[in-house]
């Protein structure tokens, strides 16, 4: 079971790094105007949320800050694809992903 959890943690880390790469030189305006970029970022959030959900099912005792909010965001992106708030995605990238990345990296060590 530990190997599965490590795989999901690695998937989260990879998706965070992908989002960072996609948005490296992008402003919010560029993000808003580029549908392919928005969809790529949304897909990575789907992966992060699904991996987090699977971790919580395998071992609910694993403590990850904002775990429920991350899973909820994944659900909103998938089921509410037509009402995604670009500002919420953008602020999540800048306000929360750096913290999550550090947390995941510590767990992978």
Q: Is 43 a catalytic residue?
A: no
Compare 1 and 37 and report the one with higher pLDDT.
37
Q: What is residue 81's predicted lDDT score, i.e. its pLDDT? A: 87
Distance in angstroms (rounded) separating the CA atoms of residues 109 and 96: 21
32 alpha-carbon distance from chain centroid: 18
Range of the domain at 100: 2-108
Whose tokens are 């971790």? That residue is: 55
- Whether the predicted model's global pTM rises above the 0.85 cut: yes
Identified catalytic residue from 74, 76, 94, 96: 74
Per the structure, the count of domains in the chain is 1
How confident is the model over 63-87, as pLDDT tens digits?
999 999 999 999 999 999 899 999 9
* Helix (H/G/I), strand (E/B), else coil: 24: coil
Under the banding of pLDDT at 50, 70 and 90, the label for residue 1 is low
Distance in angstroms (rounded) separating the CA atoms of residues 81 and 39: 10
Q: What is residue 106's predicted lDDT score, i.e. its pLDDT? A: 95
Distance in angstroms (rounded) separating the CA atoms of residues 80 and 104: 27
Q: Is 74 a catalytic residue?
A: yes
Identified catalytic residue from 38, 79, 94, 96: 79
């Amino acid at each position: 079971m530990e190997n599965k959890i490590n795989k999901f943690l690695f998937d989260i880390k990879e998706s965070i790094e992908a989002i960072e790469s996609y948005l490296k030189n992008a402003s919010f305006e560029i993000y808003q105007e580029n549908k392919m970029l928005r969809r790529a970022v949304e897909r990575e959030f789907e992966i992060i949320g699904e991996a987090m959900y699977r971790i919580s099912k395998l071992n609910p005792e694993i403590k990850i800050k904002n775990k429920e909010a991350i899973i909820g965001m994944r659900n909103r992106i998938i089921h509410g694809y037509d009402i995604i708030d670009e500002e919420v995605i953008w602020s999540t990238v800048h306000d929360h992903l750096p913290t999550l990345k550090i947390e995941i990296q510590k767990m992978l060590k």
